[in-house]
Structure formats: C-alpha cells, structure tokens
C-alpha cells in the first residue's frame, strides 16, 4: 500500500521507517495464539473503578530528547504490571525513540497484560511483523495512513490483533470510526509543534460517545490531577514521559491508577 499524507516531524519519522520496512523478514512465522484484549482490559478496569492506564516504555523522543538512560525494558514492564497498568505500550522505533523490536520479545513472555507495539506503520509488513513479535495490538496513525486506514484496520484484525487508531482532529476521528476502529487514541500532541494540549481530548472525546468505541487520551498527562480532570472525556489513558522520567516509574504509575 502506498501512503502519502505526512507532516513535519512525522514526515521525517515516516521516511526513516520506510527504510526500515525494506529489512523486514516476512518469512518469520506468525504463531497462532490467544491475544490479550486491550479493549477488554480498559473496559474492565473502568467498570471496576480503576483508572485504565496504558503505561509506555520510551527512552527518547523528538520532543524530549533523552528521557531515561537505557535499562532492561522487561524490568520496567514488570513494575508496571505490579502497579496495575491496563496495558504496556512499547516504542520500537530506534532512530527517534531509542526503541527496538527485541523489547517486545523480552517483555511478552513475562507479561499477562496486553502489549501494544507503538511504531509508525506505513506498510502491511509491519502489521505482520507485530503479530510475529507477539504483541497484542498495534498503533495505526490516521494522519499517516489517510484513506488507507480502513484497509490497515481490517488487515490488523485479520491477524487477530487489535488496533489503537490514533487521531488528532475531527476528520481523522470520522475516518477512524468509519474505517472500523474499535479503540481510538486521541493524541494531545500536535505533531507539527510537538506541544501537548489536553484540550484536544476535551474537544474530540465527545464525538466518539455512544458510537461503540473505546477512547484513550494519549500524550501530555503530567500527573494524577490530569487523570481526574480528563476521565469524563475518555475511557483510558496512555502515559509515557511522566512515568519514564520518574525515579520509580511503577510508583508513579500507582498514583495514576488510583487517582
């Protein structure tokens, strides 16, 4: 599939991703298995009065530079699970986020919660690769996939995986819902300026209400007060920098889960 709609920083990331895609070995087998459902995990926690937080493993980012010196991702993941996360988001992009596919292979065997592979999908080979790595869900960015989004969602579901479909505005929200998205992440980070504004979720969250989708508020969460303020606009949260900057990420997560 040819994907064309890209902007600014995203443009650079997508370009470098295209180079990486050429190296994917599509002969690696995809093993049949039961996935851990992210949608169910978020819904169950919400019903039980616990804040559903997808806790992220991200060592660097374009907006922050170095966030945390490298340490074993499986150790961080295990702390997140003990602290009650709804899922673990793993950045696998090496150039801009200090990630690696091997993080998923290290985390998966010792983690009972859903694992989300967060990368910049531009080609179906990456979806297949995500299934082969053992993740349960994959990020699909509406701004990257444009009119191809629905096809990518279908392809992802065909592997038994879930898709977290990321949107930034009203048009992308409609594209996601009409394309069959079941979990929608509203990204508060403006990908042109890198600034985060929780206002984005406040504005877009209500558009998804009553339409049978699970809404995740992504980016820019800076502590328990943000969770308390935003939970009326969404079902769950995706938090990276705040946790990875904390001296003890698991303890910081506990504060968000119980906020």
Query: Catalytic residue positions?
Result: 56, 58, 118, 166, 187, 218-219
Among 17, 36, 41, 61, contact with ligand LARABZUK (rule: CB under 6 A): 61
List the x/- string, 234-253, binding to ligand LARABZUK by CB under 6 A: ----xxxxx-----------
Question: What are the structure tokens assigned to 46, written together?
Answer: 């919400």
**SS3 of 87, please?**
strand
Residue 60 binds to ligand LARABZUK (criterion: CB under 6 A): no
Near ligand LARABZUK by CB under 6 A: residue from 221, 233, 253, 257: 221
63 binds ligand LARABZUK (CB under 6 A): yes
Rounded distance between C-alpha atoms, residue 96 and residue 13, angstroms: 7
Give per-residue burial for 169-179: e unless 16+ CB within 10 Å, then b.
beebbebbbeb
**Using CA atoms, how far apart are residues 65 and 245, in angstroms rounded to an integer?**
12
Residue 161 or 243: which CB sits closer to ligand LARABZUK? Answer: 243
Q: Does 191 bind ligand LARABZUK (CB under 6 A)?
A: yes
Extract the runs of DSSP E, i.e. beta strands, from the chain: 53-57, 60-61, 65-66, 87-91, 115-118, 137-141, 162-167, 183-187, 214-218, 236-239
* Residues within the interface to ligand LARABZUK (CB under 6 A): 9, 56, 58, 61-63, 187, 189, 191, 194, 196, 218-221, 238-242
């Amino acid at each position: 599939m040819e994907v064309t709609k890209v902007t600014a920083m995203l443009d650079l990331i997508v370009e470098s991703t295209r180079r990486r895609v050429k190296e994917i070995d599509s002969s690696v087998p995809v093993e049949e298995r039961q996935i851990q459902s992210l949608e169910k995990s978020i819904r169950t926690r919400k019903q039980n009065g616990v804040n559903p937080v997808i806790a992220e493993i991200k060592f660097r980012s374009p907006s922050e530079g170095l966030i945390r010196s490298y340490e074993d991702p499986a150790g961080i993941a295990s702390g997140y699970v003990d602290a009650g996360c709804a899922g673990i988001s793993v950045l696998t992009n090496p150039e801009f986020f200090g990630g690696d596919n091997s993080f998923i292979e290290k985390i998966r065997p010792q983690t009972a919660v859903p694992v989300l592979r967060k990368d910049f999908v531009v080609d179906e080979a990456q979806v297949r690769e995500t299934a082969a790595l053992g993740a349960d869900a994959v990020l699909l960015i509406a701004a990257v996939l444009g009119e191809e989004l629905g096809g990518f969602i279908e392809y992802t579901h065909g592997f038994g995986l879930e898709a977290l479909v990321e949107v930034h505005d009203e048009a992308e929200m409609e594209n996601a819902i009409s394309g069959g998205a079941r979990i929608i992440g509203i990204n508060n980070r403006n990908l042109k300026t890198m600034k985060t504004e929780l206002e984005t979720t406040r504005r877009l969250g209500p558009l998804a209400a009553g339409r049978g989708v699970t809404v995740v508020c992504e980016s820019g969460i800076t502590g328990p007060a943000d969770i308390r303020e935003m939970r009326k606009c969404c079902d769950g949260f995706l938090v990276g920098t705040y946790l990875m900057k904390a001296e003890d990420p698991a303890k910081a997560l506990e504060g968000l889960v119980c906020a």
